[in-house]
Amino acid sequence: MSSLTELTAHELKGLLDKGEISSKDLVKEHLERIEKVDKKVNAFMTVTKEEALKQAEVVDEKRKRSEQLSPLAGIPMALKDNMCTKGIRTTCSSKILHNFIPPYNATVVEKLMKADSIVMGKCNMDEFAMGSSTENSGYFPTKNPYDLNVVPGGSSGGSAASVAAEEVVFSLGSDTGGSIRQPAAFCGVIGLKPTYGYVSRYGLVAFASSLDQIGPFTRDMTDCALVMNEIFGHDHKDSTSAPVEVPDFTKALNNDVKGLKIGLPKEYMNEGINPDIIECYKQAVAKLEELGAVCEEVSLPHTEYALPIYYIIAPAEASSNLARYDGVRYGLRVEGEDIVSMFKKTRSQGFGEEVKRRIMLGTYALSSGYYDAYYLKALKVRTLIKQDFDQVFEKFDCLLTPTTPTTAFNFGEKVDDPLSMYMNDICTVPANLAGVPALSMPFGLSKGRPVGLQLIGKAFGEGTLLRVGYTLEQNTTLTRPRPELKGVM
């Protein structure tokens, strides 16, 4: 029998329902895995051992009483450390929030706790979700389970690594410009950025409010659908939450793409894409065509502007959102001679270099005399990018692209070159700007490092992405890689 940590949520549910294992057994085995592996991987900021064991006992009692339970009941999971958890430290991997313990839970946390999922802890990230490698954490870098010498991606690197390293069954991350999909690609797992407004942002510590979305990391499409069923839906506490019905996403798991029209955007296939990634991409296209899908080249002409306008809009919103960290209300406080000195010292010592860089960029873009030239113009181009997607989706069901231009890169390779680091988001930021759903799934390896494929859908079209992903999953052997964790086991 496989180790329990190797199994998916739906496989574990079968064992739990039959009484072959208990939730407490499951939690203990995952805690042992974390103890064994995380000293090298560094996926976790905080491990909630005692709380997890207590939660497991509660679920086991409910199961003994034959209560009706969610498919995720008793399943170990983890949260990115920018989601508020009542009574559990939430740092955003920043020194400025080193001692912050929220008085409430984020809506997604409430939903998963209601579903009786077991929170194993909070995962490391780039500070305030700003970065593509988790090297910008204010505490320590997370390592990629496939190769401890390379990055896991970011900013949700800890959440992706925790699933890839089999420390938890699934996890949640947040995606502002690719922060779920890029680490999912680097770590060989599935990562979904939902349609903007489909998942509540209440209790998510804000980076860029018009772009942020919470989504799952899982090891297969069935688990992805199960998590989506629990966390999606309208929330009156979030003014940007979409008042739409949530379907049963497991019904989208059809092994059939016959007649689907899949667009292949030519702008995503630039000369910066790694040849091995292009080869995997071509294999996926050939397989989908073999299975009956119609794949045709399409054009999204304003794609070339996506990255520069993202790095105007996102820092502008960040400079506004991060103004609240002033040493007065909560978090770090560094005393000064007067209140202005206290503000300066607190922010100077509390924020890392990347966060400071983006605050300065954003403040500049919003300043008098530059607002119209930069921020307002960026918003207009954002509308053009959204219109590109709207026009393409009049004829196509979804789009297929690479998730990233390269596979996971070495530590230190890009950290001193911000522009090179920002280029890692070139394939992912357009979906955030347009507010449409996008999913990254593993599809093969390049020199032992996972390759990610990205599926992009029309607004609230997550079911189509699951259908295409599930079909690839059922008809190839390239979608479920596993790391060897050399030097750890």
Helix axes 377-392, 306-321, angle to 10 degrees: 120
User: In Å, what is the CA distance from 348 to each residue of 112, 345, 357?
Assistant: 36, 5, 12
Dihedral sign for Cα 248, 253, 259, 265, please: positive
**HSE-up of residue 272 (Cα within 13 Å, Cβ side):** 13
Rounded Cα distance, 35 and 121, in Å: 13
Identify whether 356 is a catalytic site residue. Answer: no
> Which two structure tokens, joined as six digits, stand for 151?
């990055």
| DSSP category for residue 439 | E
Helix axis angle, 221-231 to 107-114, nearest 10° = 110
Candidate list 155, 162, 200, 319, residue with the active-site label: 155
Pick the catalytic residue from 80, 122, 414, 458. Answer: 80
Q: Give the torsion sign (CA, 324, 330, 332, 336).
A: positive
- Is 117 a catalytic site residue? no
Chain position carrying tokens 């998730």: 403
Which stretches does DSSP call E strand in 352-489? 398-402, 438-446, 449-457
Which residues in 206-245 are b (16+ Cβ under 10 Å) and which e?
Answer: bbbebbbbbbbbbbbbbbbbbbbbbbbbebeebeebbeee
Is 155 catalytic? The answer is yes
How far is Cα 206 from Cα 318, in angstroms, rounded to an integer?
8
146: phi then psi, degrees, rounded to nearest 5: -80, -25
CA-nearest of 397, 387, 430, 400 to 264 is 400
- H or E element in which residue 298 lies: strand 294-298
* Active-site hit among 179, 200, 319, 440: 179
Where is 264: in which H helix or E strand?
strand 261-265
Task: List residues with catalytic annotation.
Answer: 80, 155, 179
